[in-house]
Amino acid sequence: MPETAALLEPVDPFAALCRLDRLCHAGPIRPSPEASWPEVESPEMAQALVFETDGWLLALPQPWVVEVLRRPRLTRIPNAPDAIQGVTNLRGMLVPVLAVTALMGWRGGGLPPPLIVCLAQGSQILGLGVQTLHGLQSLASGLRHDGPTPRLLQPAIWCGGVVLSDGRWAGVPDWPTLLRVAHVNPVT
């Protein structure tokens, strides 16, 4: 029975988010060399949700992901900042949906996203509008800072990048800081 009890213990889904949050925003807007992936069972590998938006591959640590919504109903908010595409309903909770391109300071289309990746930011659930989902990938836990640089020079805060299993490079933005910069408050 002790083994069963251990399986039923509650798991704090925000613990990994808080650990990476502390690591990623140690100073001004710049790459964060001290950033790392959340702690995982195997110290050599970490899981990340890889997605594409505006032609660029980006990664999101798996412990942050709450759910992925396909073709969600999105309600626009009048006079909302460009970064907020609208709100959607996730099991009775209103979730603000943010445009990744606006958060990153990139120009992008204003079309409703076909996918929304819901993630935990503190006690708030937020959605990121994305175009294509490439799924979960096991990645080396070390972040690299030698990837493609043109977009890294944008005002976004970068933790670094990771090399995917097929050899492509995916950027790992400092998501907690980007979301705070967007000034998204809980919708009531």
Please give the CATH number for the structural domain made up of 14-181: 2.40.50.180
Counts for the chain of helices (H) and strands (E), in that order: 4, 10
Q: Give me the residue spans of the domains in the chain.
A: 14-181
**Across the beta sheet with 169-173, what order do the strands follow?**
132-140, 45-53, 56-61, 169-173, 158-163
Note the pLDDT tens digit of each residue in 62-88.
Answer: 888 889 999 888 888 888 877 788 899
Mean of pLDDT over the chain: 67
| Strands (DSSP E) found in 20-92 | 45-53, 56-61, 65-70, 84-90
Note the pLDDT tens digit of each residue in 20-29.
Answer: 333 333 333 3
Name 128's bridge partners. Answer: 98, 117
pTM of this prediction? Answer: 0.65
Amino acid 108: pLDDT? 64
Q: What are phi and psi of 102, to 5 degrees?
A: -70, -40
